[in-house]
Amino acid sequence: MRPHPSCLKKGEIYADGINWDDLGFGLIPIDHMYTMKCSDGENFSQGHLSPFGKIELCPSAGILNYGQGLFEGLKATRTEDGRIMLFRPQENALRMIMGAERMCMPSPSVEQFVDAVKQTVFANKRWVPPPGKGSLYIRPLLVGSGSNLCLGPGLEYTFLIFASPVGNYHKGRAALNLYVEHKIHRATPGGTGGVKCVTNYSPVYQTQQQARAKGFSDVLFLDSATGKNIEEIVLANIFILKGNVISTPTLKHGTILPGVTRKSIIDIALDFGYQVAERVIPVEDLLAADEAFCTGTAVVVNPIGAVTYQDKRVEYKTGGALCQKLYETLTGIQTGRLEDKKGWTLEVN
Active site residues: 196
Q: How many CB atoms lie within 10 A of CB 218?
A: 22
* Residue partners of 339: CB distance under 8 A and separation at least 6: 333
Q: How far apart are CA 77 and CA 23, in angstroms?
A: 14
CA distance 49 to 32: 6
Report the 10 Å Cβ neighbour count for 237. 24
Distance CA 14, CA 7 (A): 10
- For 243, counting Cβ atoms within 10 Å of its Cβ (0-12 exposed, 13-18 middle, 19+ buried), the class is exposed
| Bridge-based pairing state of the strands 300-309 and 291-296 | antiparallel
Count of residues in the chain? 349
* Residues in a beta bridge with 138: 74, 163
Measure the CA–CA gap between 349 and 347, rounded to whole angstroms: 6
